[in-house]
């Protein structure tokens, strides 16, 4: 059985690839790993690949906002120069959720993971 979350680091970027429903456990795992990487390695640029996620629920959006607030607070305290939480490979439904909630003005959304990596590197 494969894990529903993949984590890789490319230089100063941390990339999460998630699969299926974003359970509370999965979101907590992401948050824990982000906190660890930010505090230990000063990484404040995160990409979440949603290629294998069909939909987002309000708890998911809340978790992403919470993660972004953490990144911003760490940058404000002197870690890193820019807090970025970006998404890539979103389907039409997920893209519409970002637009309806106006989170597309807060988070950067890219068509592909390569586009996100190029833009944030």
What are the boundaries of each domain within the chain?
5-120
pLDDT at 2: 53
pLDDT of amino acid 3: 62
User: What CATH number does the domain located at 5-120 have?
Assistant: 3.30.750.24
Kindly tell me if the per-residue pLDDT of 112 is higher than 70.
Answer: yes
In 1-121, beta strands by DSSP E: 5-10, 13-19, 45-52, 84-88, 108-110
Q: What's the mean pLDDT in 66-91?
A: 88
Question: Which of 46, 49, 57 lies closest to 23 in space, CA to CA?
Answer: 57
* More confidently predicted of 78 and 95: 95
> Burial letters for 74-110: b for 16+ Cβ neighbours within 10 Å, e otherwise?
bbeeebbeebbbbbbbbeeebeebbeeeebbeebbbb
Instruction: Please determine, for residue 68, whether its predicted confidence score (pLDDT) is greater than 60.
Output: yes
Total-model pTM = 0.90
Please give the average per-residue pLDDT across 82-99, as a whole number: 93
């Amino acid at each position: 059985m494969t894990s529903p979350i993949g984590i890789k680091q490319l230089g100063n970027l941390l990339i999460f690839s998630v699969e299926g429903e974003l359970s509370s456990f999965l979101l907590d795992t992401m948050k824990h790993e982000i906190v660890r990487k930010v505090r230990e390695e000063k990484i404040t640029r995160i990409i979440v690949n949603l290629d294998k996620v069909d939909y987002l629920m309000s708890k998911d959006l809340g978790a992403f906002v919470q993660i972004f607030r953490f990144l911003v607070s760490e940058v404000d305290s002197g870690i890193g120069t820019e807090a970025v939480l970006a998404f890539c490979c979103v389907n039409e439904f997920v893209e519409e959720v970002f637009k309806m909630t106006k989170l597309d003005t807060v988070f950067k959304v890219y068509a592909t993971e390569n586009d996100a990596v190029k833009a944030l590197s």
